[in-house]
């Protein structure tokens, strides 16, 4: 129910809860479709590209806020990667939702939807495209593209130096 409220895709809800598609559809139809605050149903697969998550310093910073919340909530582990089993783990599914709700408070008009947050989490856990590191200068944790060389500089330091354009275009998908 909580994930439907955040417009999660059926496949994402199925992964976390083990509910079948028919059950998820019925929950949506019963509790959301005709409610006071209509919730959209997103079709198709979850986003899988990582580029948009770190394309600009502002994006990387927002992704970093979410990654910090995920790390603090034990949804992935740096010491013992990738971290706990998520499939069918409803308790951690709630924690994932809490991370998203906290992100939504911390980052006004943030670009990440729950689905982009999910993409971020599984990309970090997979460890082949996105990495997480700490800036030696300002100490924030940020997300970076493992495949781009040279490694991108700390997004917070870049933004404070006003070297980066502030792009506020929404992510699609």
Give 31 or 160: the residue with its C-beta nearer to Zn ion.
160
Q: Which stretch binds Zn ion (CB under 5 A): 25-33, 70-78, 79-87, 132-140?
A: 132-140
Measure the CA–CA gap between 130 and 124, rounded to whole angstroms: 5
Q: Among residues 138, 147, 167, 168, which is the contact residue for Zn ion, using CB under 5 A?
A: 138
Q: Among residues 157, 159, 164, 173, which is the contact residue for Zn ion, using CB under 5 A?
A: 157
Cβ density class 4-17: b for 16+ within 10 Å, e for less: bbbebbbebbbbbb
Q: Among residues 30, 137, 148, 169, which is the contact residue for Zn ion, using CB under 5 A?
A: 137
Measure the CA–CA gap between 74 and 62, rounded to whole angstroms: 19
Strands 130-134 and 141-145: antiparallel
Where is 159: in which H helix or E strand?
helix 155-160
Where is 145: in which H helix or E strand?
strand 141-145
60 binds Zn ion (CB under 5 A): no
Q: Among residues 3, 53, 156, 171, which is the contact residue for Zn ion, using CB under 5 A?
A: 156
Q: Which stretch binds Zn ion (CB under 5 A): 10-18, 47-55, 96-104, 134-142?
A: 134-142
Q: Closest Cα to residue 102, out of 76, 72, 143?
A: 72
CB-based contact 64:85 (threshold 8 Å): no
Q: Among residues 4, 19, 27, 135, which is the contact residue for Zn ion, using CB under 5 A?
A: 135
70 binds Zn ion (CB under 5 A): no
Helix, strand, or coil here: 134?
A: strand
Give 3 or 154: the residue with its C-beta nearer to Zn ion.
154
Give 29 or 137: the residue with its C-beta nearer to Zn ion.
137
141 binds Zn ion (CB under 5 A): no
Binding site for Zn ion (CB under 5 A): 135, 137-138, 154, 156-157
């Amino acid at each position: 129910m909580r994930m439907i409220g955040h417009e999660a895709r059926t496949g994402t809800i199925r992964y976390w809860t083990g509910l079948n598609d028919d059950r998820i559809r019925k929950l949506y139809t019963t509790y959301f479709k005709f409610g006071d605050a209509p919730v959209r149903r997103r079709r198709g697969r979850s986003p899988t590209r990582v580029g948009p998550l770190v394309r600009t310093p502002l994006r990387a910073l927002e992704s970093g806020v979410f990654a910090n919340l995920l790390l603090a909530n034990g949804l992935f582990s740096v010491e013992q990667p990738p971290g706990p089993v998520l499939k069918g783990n409803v308790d951690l599914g709630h924690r994932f939702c809490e991370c998203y709700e906290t992100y939504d408070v911390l980052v006004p008009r943030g670009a990440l939807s729950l689905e982009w947050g999910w993409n971020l989490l599984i990309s970090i856990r997979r460890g082949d495209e996105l990495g997480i590191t700490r800036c030696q200068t300002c100490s924030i944790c940020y997300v970076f593209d493992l495949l781009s060389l040279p490694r991108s500089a700390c997004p917070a330091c870049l933004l404070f130096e006003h070297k980066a354009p502030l792009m506020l275009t929404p992510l699609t998908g």
